[in-house]
Every structure is written in structure tokens, then in C-alpha cells.
Amino acid sequence: MTANPLPARLDQVLQSLPRAYAGPGGAVAVLRAGEVIVRHSWGWANAERRIPFTPSSLFRICSISKQFTCGLLLDAFPDPDVLDADVRARLPLLEDAVPGARHLCHNQSGLRDYWAVAMLHGSPVEAPFGDREGSRIIRATRSLQFGPGTRYSYCNQNFRILSDILEERTGRSYAELLRERIFAPAGMETAFVAADTRAMPDGTDGYEGTQAGGFRAAENRIRWTGDAGIGASLDDMIAWERHIDATRDDPDALYRRLSVPVQFSDGAAAAYGFGLARSTEFGRAATGHGGALRGWRSHRFHVASERLSVVVLFNHLGDAAAAAVDLLAAALGEERPQPGAPVPAPDWVGDYLEPETGLAARIDLPRQGQVRLRFGHSAERLDLQADGTAGAARTRLRPGDGGLWMDRPGENLRTRLVPCGGSGRLDVAGRYACAELGTGLTVVEAGGTLYGAFSGTLGDGRMELLDPVGADVWTLPCPRALDHTPPGDWTLAFRRDAAGRVDGVTVGCWLARGLDYARVD
């Protein structure tokens, strides 16, 4: 628990976490001005072996690793632009403008995420994905999904490429560099590179499932590096947060350099840079990141103006980000926003296509006062407003000139959605091939219903039931993938020739979009 009595509200939130976010175990910390006010764990690091979850239990911090990769890069190469040629060398077939190292740090590279592309190559969800598979997909890149610096899209291999470059440039391993340049100075005594995807060395395991349906140990067979490869305990993360506070007044401190404002190429402010998300929490600027792989969820916030940090580690798929917000609100003495007066349902609910990304945007009414948007990585619930709009942290929908507009400032995207009309047509069944990737898509009509699957160098994917969005727009669900959750449903936007025959399809999801498949049967 904690050394001193806690404010009542913070203690209440702390005690509620094991049931509010049910799972085998977890650990959380809250720090103010470098002092630990919460250091708490519960449950089991390994439920089968009855190993307790403690603040010293080793944990996969997953994508929180990205800030450490960027910190290592800035420490070794204060000007990331000197590594641009190294990035170019790893993309020998790229026909578009090549992103620079800084674009990779900010998730503005335009590269498609390689874990998502692996699913297009037919990878079974439990298949190995290591150095060979990762390098093959990266080196085969021929096009980008947007121009470098113009948009934001989450892309894991941005950080794998960076860690590979650091190893080549320094002649030392990523693990050695982290230990010497980051972990030792910060006092992170047990942090290490956990590239092996089995249980952690101390037996801590990650779990899939729910309290109602039961939990089972999650199987991961990905080899991680700079994108999601670090293992650390809660105590290691406490040391990191204390190091951030201790160096707060040093203009050359690593975290200050990681937290600098970032822009897109048009000058618009970016909400992500150097492996850190920038957000506003309860009216205060915050930096942080989440981490999630199959069986593991984590989140951390740092509010510099309050000298306040929150860390949440779950060895299950509970919503660590929501738990972190709960703790942050209690520590700040703030309340989560409450719904306002009921707002009538809008007349723009329906199915759309976003023209730039080519992705379906499906909008429905989950409950009064909200709409649900299925567009990006996962569904978003947007609160309806009295002015006819709907919004949440990442997205705003608003009726305007010419139809319904969607604003996603974090991605530098402002777009008018195109309504999808008509019912799904079954004559899209057939075989399709993507020349760029060397992959295939098979769509089969089985008893009046369409099913589809991808195939490629990694195997033949499982046939999945397609969902109609419009006359020639369908989605192919990806209920499980290499990562902790699927990359988002795949949009299949079929096209027809002058005679009305289907001759191709554009395939994409939020993490990997704009890929052309031609009909081959």
C-alpha cells in the first residue's frame, strides 16, 4: 500500500481498481514532486503458479518502450536528421518520398504498420513474427499511405527501424545502450529488453479473457525491439518518474527534450512526438503513453505543471488508460465530466466512406446522448452536443457545408464523409491480388453470404464473415491479430469497370491503408 494515509478519494479509487478493471493482477503508482504517494499491487503475477503481483514483478511495458527508444536516439544523436540516410537504406524499394528519422519518431512516416501488413500476408494470429518476417515486410515497402510529415498514423516499425539503426551506428546492442544511457542513470535497476515473448524471467505472465468468461495465459510469438520490447517493474517505472522530476529544471534533460512541441509539415500542432502523446487532462497539459500487447496493458501520465505522475500496469486486457485517468482525477481533486441534458438523436447516423484513407466510417446510436464511430483502431463513443455535433478527445463529427465532416486533429485530418448507399452486392466474390505486396484476397459466396480471407508469404488467413457497409463497400473483421487487438476492421471498397463488372478492390485499415488489389479470376 502506501507509507502515509491517502486522501479519501484517492484511497477509494485505489481500492476499487481490482474490481473495476478485473483481471489476474495489477500494480499502480502515483507520485507528486518526486515523492511516492501510492505504490500498490494486487492479485497474481502468475495465477497458475500462485506468484503474487508485487511492485517488483517484471512486466512488459509494451509501447511505453517507444519513448525510451527515442530517448536513446536523442542521447546518442541529438539531431535525429543525421540518421535520415540510414532510414533510406532500410527502404530500398520505396518509390515515394522517403521519411526521415524525425518522421519515424513522431509517427508521421507514412509507413504502414508491419504487424497489420502481416495479416495481409495471411499470418495466423498465433504465428511467429521475428527479425526475418519484420525485415522482409519493411524492406519490401514500395509506397506510403501519406506523405511524410503530413499526417499521423501509429506505426510500430518506425521504432524498430530506429533501434536497428542505433545498433548499427554504435556497434552495440539495443539492450546494452538502454542499460548504459537510460536505465542506469534513471535508477531503473531491473529494466531490460524482453525480446523473448514467453513469460517474464520471474514468472510473471499476461492473460487474455474476462472475469465472466475466465482468463488464460496469452500466447505471444512476436520478437520485439524498439517498438515494444522493454520489460520493467512498477519500481522501475517509479524510478523513471522520479528521474523526470529530478531533472525538470535542466534544459538539456532527456524528458524535456522528448516533450518539446511537435508540428506537422503544414505547421499544425501535432499531438504525438518522440514516442510520447501530448494531451490535455482536466485542463492541464500532460505527456504519456499506453502500452498493450496480448495479455498486457499499461499506461502512464506526467503532468509537469503539477509535478504529478501516474503509472498503471495490468497483466490482462483491462482498460489501463481509463484506470490512469481515474487515479489522475483523484490525485488532482477533479471530477470526470458528466453527461449533460439529453440531446435528440441526429439525422446523420449511418454508414460513410472517408475519401482520403478509403476507410469505412460507421456511425450508430449505442445509447442516449452518444453516437458510436467505427473508423480507426477501435470504436469511439462520442458525446452528442446541443449544437448538433458529437465529440470526444480524438474526434469531432459535425454537420456542415455539403454533408457530415469529421475532424481528427491528432492525425491532422479534416474531411467530409461520403455516404454509402445501397445494399451489399454478392457479385464481388472472386480472387484478387495486390502486386505491391505479393498478397491475395479471396472472397467467397457461401449460401448467400460472403466470407473473405487474405493470403501471402506468411500463410492463408482464416475465412471471416464480411459485413456490408454499402453497395460495393464491405468490412472484413480481424477479431484477433499479432498485436493485443486487431488493427481495425479491413475496409474492402470494390470498384467496377465501364460494363459494371467488379475489376478490383482497395483494401485498408487504420494502420495500413490504400492498397490496390486487382481481380484475377
- 281, containing H or E segment: strand 276-281
Whether the CB-CB separation of 100 and 88 falls below 8 Å is answered with no
- Cα–Cα distance measured from residue 155 to residue 104, given in angstroms and rounded to the nearest whole number: 8
Is 423 noted as a catalytic residue in this protein?
no
Q: Decide if 363 contacts 351 (C-beta within 8 A).
A: yes
Nearest residue to 71 (alpha-carbon basis) of 235, 240, 263, 192: 240
User: Among the options 63, 65, 109, 153, which is catalytic?
Assistant: 63
Check 41, 66, 109, 163 and give the catalytic one: 66
Region at 402 (left for phi over 0; alpha for psi -120 to 50; beta for the rest):
left
d(CA 512, CA 137): 12
Q: Closest Cα to residue 358, out of 144, 194, 222, 515? A: 515
- In whole angstroms, give the CA distance from residue 399 to residue 299: 34
Amino acid at 84: D
Cell 508521421 locates to 108
The helix or strand, by DSSP H or E, that contains position 28, with its residue range, turns out to be strand 25-32
Within 409-496, residue ranges assigned H as helices are none
User: Is 424:471 a contact under the CB 8 Å cutoff?
Assistant: yes
Query: Which residues is 439 bridged to in the sheet?
Result: 434
**Alpha-carbon span 338 to 511, nearest angstrom:** 32
Instruction: Give 291's strand partners.
Output: 298
Tell me the three cell numbers of residue 47. 495465477
For 355-501, strand residue ranges (E) read: 359-364, 370-374, 380-384, 390-391, 396-400, 403-408, 413-416, 418-419, 430-434, 439-445, 450-456, 459-460, 464-465, 467-470, 473-476, 490-496
> Which DSSP state fits 482?
S
Residues marked active site are found at 63, 66
